[in-house]
Structure 1
Amino acid sequence: MTSVAVCLVLGGSVLHAVWNTVVKQAPSGGTLFVWVYSTFSVTLLLPVVLFGAARGSTIDAVVVKAGVVSALLHTAYAITLQRAYTRADMNVVYPVARGMGPVLVVVFAAVALRQHLTIVEMAGVAVILGGAIVVASRRSGDRDLVTVEARRSLAGPVRGLLVGATIAGYTLWDDHAMKDLGVDALPYYTCTAVVQCVVLTVLCWRRRREAVVVVRHSWRPALLVAVLVPASYVAVLFALTMAPVALVAPLRSTSIVFGSIAGWLLLGEPAGRRRLLGAVVVVLGVGLLVVPSG
């Protein structure tokens, strides 16, 4: 796995953890907030589209078809994530989702796509996932890590698993689109964002008056998410052109560490010795992934 791909994925992981923290803090949550920041994101993409058109970049039928599928998967992800955050703590949903996503991808890649990993790479995957489990774990006495409500129910872990399944779905489709269909990252994401905005508009149109209230109270976090979501996503798309999805997906789970740090500094959640240990384990796993195979 090249150093450029590693930097792209790690950068995307940092941005991903930040925008998830913003989403969790947003005063107006739910599907309407997703619609608002998706609309902002499409608006901000207009200069990118014009720049790409000037350089001869086009959106053909293949890009459109791939973008439609991607949009549906990402819409399911965004709505599932937003609803999970309105019903459970981030420090439950986020680790489970980001940990289960790559596990499902690796299983699918090994079984269906027949992507072969070296022993060192497999060890790196195992170490990263092990570190993710350490970061997500807690002792029964750690009452400061989760709320009483989340601790008494399976709502957080179950919703985290659902989010993880959508992450695995769009990750595998992105890999197929970038490598098998040969689509360019920017036109592909542009089409995905536009179609996703259209789908959300159809779903939320009857609640447009409520959306005005969301814009009034949450336009700043929505604008920030609108910038960070495409930045983190496009970085990973470019990484997928340089490395196998079975390596990219587990490396993305480093966002669990960055998410823990963001929760600690921005949400006031304690880091704890276990989370620091988990961060070190994940970093060791990243080191194994970047070891030259030759």
Structure 2
Amino acid sequence: MSGLSAWLVGLEGTAAGSRLALALALLAAFLHALFGALQKGRHDPWLSRAAIDGCYGLLALPCALFLVPWPEPHMWPVFGGAIAIHTGYKVAQAMTYTRGAYTVVYPIVRGTGPLFAVIGAGLVFGEHFSAGQWAGVAMLVSGIFGLAAYNLVTVTLGRDRLVPALALAVLTGGFVALYTTYDAYGIRATADPFTFLAWFFLLDGIAMPVWVIAGGGRSRAAPDWPGLLRRGLLGAFVAFFSFGAIMLATRLDKVGEAAVLRETSTVFAALIGWLVLGERVGPRRLALMALIAAGATVVEWAG
């Protein structure tokens, strides 16, 4: 185990570990919103996801082979389950993004996820939220779904596809909760957390490129290879830090708290949608975003 890994493992269950987990969860929130915007941008979501996954798989290869300890034998079935869950999530997410506006579907995905994740953390890890923390969850989820409802009322583009887009967004949120809980189990199942991260990215980088090459998603967009490569490399580094941050947070502290704090990504997503994608943000959205942030603050404070 490297010095960094030993230091992180030594922080598990400590006050310093809780503070670091908080910072990592908020970092993951911002980066996850950025990652979603990268996939929803001008390139086809299927091609964008395949480019990102292929890039981070290739970048993870030397790390997995030469920089981290080899996975223990019991980890291979764990990796198999993780890849299956993440592939289902990515397919559902790409289908959602091809049908709905980013500022409508993204909040629903992120609002559904923490509810299921908190319940899953209770069942799998025996975590329990206090009454105050549940009040914070209610505030956060209310803000997220309120933001989605407001966006749903005001959106004018592609309204004929909104019903299937919303249903797929809920499905994607279920996958978010599933992979959050499962991956928290996976990163705790190995002695060195970076072994899980490196091998996960290596193995997870295979499925979506193969899926797209085989015709999955039925994209008819003419590929912009230089643009896709740039997006893929940028998305790969964002994914490393986003996924790595939230997984380390779930090892250092409670899974449910990390999952809820990450959903402040909805605030960052709205700002990115406004600043980068040219989508409107008015006073009502700002108020709902403040409610989301307040809910996350209550969850952390009441814990």
Taking structure 2 as the reference length, the TM-score comes to 0.84
1:248 and 2:258 correspond: yes
What is residue 147 of structure 1 aligned with on the other side? 156
Matched to 2:197, the amino acid is: Y
Provide, for residues 89-136 of structure 1, a one-character-per-residue CA deviation record: whole Å limited to 9, x for no partner. Answer: 111210110100111122333456542222222222222212212322
Query: Which structure 2 residues correspond to residues 30-49 of structure 1 after superposition, within 5 A?
Result: 30=46, 32-49=47-64
What is residue 139 of structure 2 aligned with on the other side? 127
CA pair 183-134 structure 1, distance change in 2 beyond 3 A = farther
Q: What is the number of residues matched between the two proteins?
A: 284
Provide, for residues 23-57 of structure 1, a one-character-per-residue CA deviation record: whole Å limited to 9, x for no partner. Answer: 11142332x4322221111122245336624xxx2
Structure 1 residue 173: Cα displacement = 0.3
CA pair 288-194 structure 1, distance change in 2 beyond 3 A = same
What is residue 224 of structure 1 aligned with on the other side? 234
Q: Secondary structure in 1 aligned to 2:279? A: coil
Q: 1:115 aligns with which of 127, 130, 144?
A: 127
What is residue 173 of structure 1 aligned with on the other side? 182
Q: Is 1:171–1:249's contact at 8 Å kept on the other side of the alignment? A: yes
What is residue 247 of structure 2 aligned with on the other side? 237
Q: 1:101 aligns with which of 93, 113, 126?
A: 113
Q: Is 1:125–1:250's contact at 8 Å kept on the other side of the alignment? A: yes
**Further displaced range: 261-270 or 196-205:** 196-205
Provide, for residues 222-247 of structure 1, a one-character-per-residue CA deviation record: whole Å limited to 9, x for no partner. Answer: 22111111210010011001222221
What is residue 52 of structure 1 aligned with on the other side? 67
Taking structure 1 as the reference length, the TM-score comes to 0.86
**Further displaced range: 213-222 or 257-266:** 213-222
Cα distance in 2 for partners of 1:151, 1:212 equals 25
Q: Is 1:16–1:232's contact at 8 Å kept on the other side of the alignment? A: yes
Q: Is 1:96–1:161's contact at 8 Å kept on the other side of the alignment? A: yes
Matched to 2:235, the amino acid is: V
**Further displaced range: 168-177 or 114-123:** 114-123
CA pair 152-203 structure 1, distance change in 2 beyond 3 A = closer
CA pair 282-68 structure 1, distance change in 2 beyond 3 A = same
Matched to 1:268, the amino acid is: G
Cα distance in 2 for partners of 1:269, 1:36 equals 25
Query: Which structure 2 residues correspond to residues 252-267 of structure 1 after superposition, within 5 A?
Result: 252-267=262-277
Provide, for residues 69-107 of structure 1, a one-character-per-residue CA deviation record: whole Å limited to 9, x for no partner. Answer: 111111211222122111211112101101001111223
**Further displaced range: 231-240 or 244-253:** 244-253
Q: Is 2:64–2:199's contact at 8 Å kept on the other side of the alignment? A: no
Provide, for residues 231-273 of structure 1, a one-character-per-residue CA deviation record: whole Å limited to 9, x for no partner. Answer: 1001001100122222121211111111011001101111111
**Further displaced range: 262-271 or 109-118:** 109-118
Q: Secondary structure in 2 aligned to 1:271? A: coil
State the superposition RMSD in angstroms. 2.6
CA pair 186-28 structure 1, distance change in 2 beyond 3 A = same
Q: Is 2:51–2:228's contact at 8 Å kept on the other side of the alignment? A: no
Cα distance in 2 for partners of 1:292, 1:161 equals 28
Q: Is 2:52–2:235's contact at 8 Å kept on the other side of the alignment? A: yes
